[in-house]
Amino acid sequence: MKISAFGEIMMRLTPPEYLMLEQTKELRMDFTGTGVNILSNLSHFGCETSLITNLPDNRLGEAAKASVRQLGISDKWIGQEGNHIGSYFAEMGYGPRPTQVTYQNRHSSSFGVSDASAYAFDDFLKETDLVHICGISLSLTDQTRAAAFSLAEKAHEQGKKICFDFNFRPSLNKNNEAAFMREQYERILPYCDIVFGSQRDLTDLLNMSADESLDSTEQFKKLAEEFMANYDIEQFAGTFRTRQEDNYYLSGFLFSTSGYELAEPREIINLDRIGAGDGYAAGVLLGYAENWPADKTVAFATANGVLAHTIQGDVPLTTRKQVEHIMNHPTVDLIR
């Protein structure tokens, strides 16, 4: 199954060794983004992947493309438009000090100024079986919203699978009213086959109401089933992060034709949590592409999500061998 994604390539700049920006002049430069993260991980799992996006026609655009290729993603559909790369600075936290992300230049980025006319969606879709669309495109700019709708429609028409990720960030939506945002999500969901999200997305964003007479699990199941029925969704997936004493645990869920599946929780040891959610998504998509039973999918995807927390940077680079290793030998801490 050829898997592709539509989304922004961002430049991430990170000071070394938990230093804050005032404390250093050294930064590590990476290229990242939800689409990049998921496709890179799938590519490391052996899938053929491709990203459709735009970059500036300059040295930064060239460096970004080189980085995407290194991650194992085809750069064939990356076009040139606009003058900037959206970027962000990540001051890594430690213990109670939270990681602090500062964005630069997202709205006027090459991706932000590109609408549907800036992409060859028709040709692109011919070469893909499943396309991932990041929900951030609904909030970023009018152009990215229009492009996302156009792509979703075309993909749906051509019978391609669409994977959609709520990825709703209130901070990116200060200028949009809740009602407006709900409308956008309601408009795209009918085209979607696989959706990543949480209960809060259903209740707070889509305004669905939970049946408070039920216990929390049943409440969630009912909500999810209703949501999937409303929009004809094939799979709905996401993660819970729970706390026990001082420790945090991750477990992934998956609603599919075989019902509700919840993974055994795995402890999170956190080196860099940015992009860790994309590790879970990549695992679910691999299971989907290879038709795994739901229990195998959530176990693999959860293990992968936990590994993603232990990797510097946003991009999960795990191979199947690594994920299977921690599933089969959870206490081995040295492989040679």
Q: Is residue 134 within 8 Å of 167, Cβ to Cβ? A: yes
How far apart CA 71 and CA 63 sit, in angstroms, is 13
Q: Binders of a second copy among 169-188, rule CB under 8 A?
A: 169, 171
Using rule CB under 8 A, residue 326 touches a second copy = yes
With binding defined as CB under 8 A, does residue 54 bind a second copy? Answer: no
Distance CA 176, CA 246 (A): 37
DSSP string covering 181-226, please?
Answer: HHHHHHHHGGG-SEEE--HHIIIIIS-----TTS-HHHHHHHHHHH
Binders of a second copy among residues 181 to 240 (CB under 8 A) are none
Q: Print burial letters for 230-256: b (CB count within 10 Å at least 16), e (below 16).
A: ebebbbbbbbbeeeeeeebbbbbbbbb
Quick note: the x/- pattern for a second copy over 269-298, rule CB under 8 A, is xxx-xx------------------------
Nearer to a second copy, 209 or 328 (CB): 328
The distance of closest approach from Cβ of residue 117 to a second copy in the complex, given in angstroms and rounded to an integer, is: 22
Q: Which stretch binds a second copy (CB under 8 A): 134-142, 155-163, 207-215, 317-325?
A: 317-325
Distance CA 263, CA 300 (A): 9
Kindly tell me which of 20 and 214 has the beta carbon lying closer to a second copy: 20
Residues 6+ apart with CB under 8 A from 22: none
Site for a second copy in 85-114 (CB under 8 A): 85, 87-89, 91, 93-105, 108
Supply the minimum distance, in Å, between the C-beta of residue 115 and a second copy: 19
Does residue 330 bind a second copy (CB under 8 A)? yes
Question: Are 58 and 75 in contact, with CB atoms under 8 Å apart?
Answer: no
In the complex, least distance from residue 9 CB atom to a second copy, rounded to whole angstroms: 14
10-14/87-91 β-pairing? parallel
Nearer to a second copy, 73 or 294 (CB): 73
Q: 83 φ, ψ to 5°?
A: -125, 0
Give the residue with the Cβ less far from a second copy, 70 or 158.
70
91 vs 113: CA distance, rounded Å:
27
| Interaction of residue 317 with a second copy, rule CB under 8 A | yes
| Binding flag, residue 79, a second copy (CB under 8 A) | no
Give whichever of 73 and 194 is closer to a second copy, judged by the CB atom: 73
Q: Does 304 bind a second copy (CB under 8 A)?
A: no
- Cβ nearer to a second copy, comparing 5 with 60: 60
What residues contact residue 73 under an 8 Å CB cut-off, 6+ apart? 36, 39, 40, 43, 49, 50, 51
Rule CB under 8 A: choose which of 149, 266, 297, 299 binds a second copy.
Answer: 266
Q: Which of 3, 36, 38, 60 binds a second copy (CB under 8 A)?
A: 60
For residue 63, count other CB atoms closer than 10 A to its CB. Answer: 15
Q: 162 forms bridges with which residues in the sheet?
A: 131
Binding status of residue 29 toward a second copy by CB under 8 A: yes
165 binds a second copy (CB under 8 A): no
- Least gap, CB of 227 to a second copy (angstroms): 26
Q: How far apart are CA 35 and CA 3, in angstroms?
A: 11
**How many residues bind a second copy, per CB under 8 A?**
80
By CB under 8 A, tell whether 66 contacts a second copy.
yes
